[in-house]
């Protein structure tokens, strides 16, 4: 696990008490969700304390907070590790997300402007171009394509006109490490192509003002993404977990 830290972290005024614990927990969570700390990895309190320039106590409390949230596990003999999500948990999360994003799409039909539709088309075209750059091969940075995918869904959520709905979707999108989600658009070229084609159909339904079709297409699109992610964990999480046990 990397123990690098920025000069900004050490020079910034340190909060105290519960605020410090919350800050440390947020930073550990961000490292996990960014993929900097991989699933199955051990979280060593001493290293994290040095990283963040704090004592072990706020780190210990932050880990307890993350354990309560289900992001990490604490084992008597091995300490804290990044929890490997069960495939059924992934499917349940994406089932909920699919319904919320379908609702957002149905609501967005009445609020999307030509500029929004152009933005969706541009995002999808950019992702396609990055996936197949002719003789140069695909973009070597999968995170760029994933950011485009996130932005595509964010445009629709923002156009729902419901802030609470948008926040709920954002929370569910952040449920799993972004590096894994990015790999899904790289490891399986067929899924990658299907993803862009589904985006095209969603855009067409939105442009046609067909709320029911847009909602249905988005729902199926998100369900398929969840199934792809669940399969990723089924195929790899056991290997990753045992790799990091040592």
pLDDT tens sequence across 96-127: 999 999 999 999 999 999 999 999 999 999 98
Give pTM, 2 decimals: 0.73
Inside any domain, residue 2: no
Inside any domain, residue 230: yes
| 239 and 214 inside one domain | yes
In the predicted structure, residue 186 carries a pLDDT above the cut 80 = no
| 151 and 102 inside one domain | yes
* Joined tokens for residue 48: 């994290």
**CATH assignment of the domain containing 65:** 1.10.10.10
From 3-7, 68-72, 183-187, the region with the lowest mean pLDDT:
3-7
Q: Give dist(CA 80, CA 47) in Å, integer.
A: 12
| 26 and 112 inside one domain | no
Inside any domain, residue 150: yes
| 119 and 235 inside one domain | yes
What number of H helices and E strands is found in the chain?
11, 3
Task: Render pLDDT for 5-49 as a digit per residue (tens, 0 to 9).
Answer: 444 444 444 454 688 999 999 899 888 877 788 888 899 999 999
| 69 and 161 inside one domain | no
| 52 and 129 inside one domain | no
Q: Give dist(CA 111, CA 209) in Å, integer.
A: 10
In terms of residue numbers, what domain contains 110? 87-245
């Amino acid at each position: 696990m990397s123990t690098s830290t920025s000069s900004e972290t050490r020079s910034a005024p340190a909060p105290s008490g519960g605020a410090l614990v919350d800050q440390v927990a947020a930073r550990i969570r961000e490292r996990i969700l960014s993929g900097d700390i991989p699933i199955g990895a051990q979280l060593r309190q001493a290293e994290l304390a040095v990283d963040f320039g704090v004592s072990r106590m706020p780190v210990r409390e932050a880990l307890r907070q993350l354990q309560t949230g289900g992001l990490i596990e604490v084992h008597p003999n091995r300490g804290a590790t990044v929890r490997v999500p069960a495939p059924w948990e992934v499917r349940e999360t994406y089932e909920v997300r699919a319904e919320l994003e379908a609702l957002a799409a149905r609501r967005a039909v009445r609020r999307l402007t030509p500029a929004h539709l152009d933005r969706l088309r541009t995002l999808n075209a950019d992702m396609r171009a990055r996936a197949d750059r002719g003789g140069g091969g695909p973009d070597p940075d999968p995170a760029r394509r994933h950011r485009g995918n996130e932005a595509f869904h964010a445009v629709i959520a923002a156009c729902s006109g419901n802030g609470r709905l948008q926040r709920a979707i954002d929370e569910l999108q952040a449920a799993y490490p972004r590096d894994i989600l990015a790999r899904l658009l790289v490891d399986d070229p067929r899924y990658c192509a299907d993803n862009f084609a589904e985006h095209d159909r969603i855009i067409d339904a939105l442009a046609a003002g067909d709320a029911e079709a847009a909602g249905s297409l988005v729902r199926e699109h998100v369900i398929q993404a969840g199934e792809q992610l669940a399969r990723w964990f089924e195929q790899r999480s056991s290997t990753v977990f045992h790799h990091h046990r040592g």
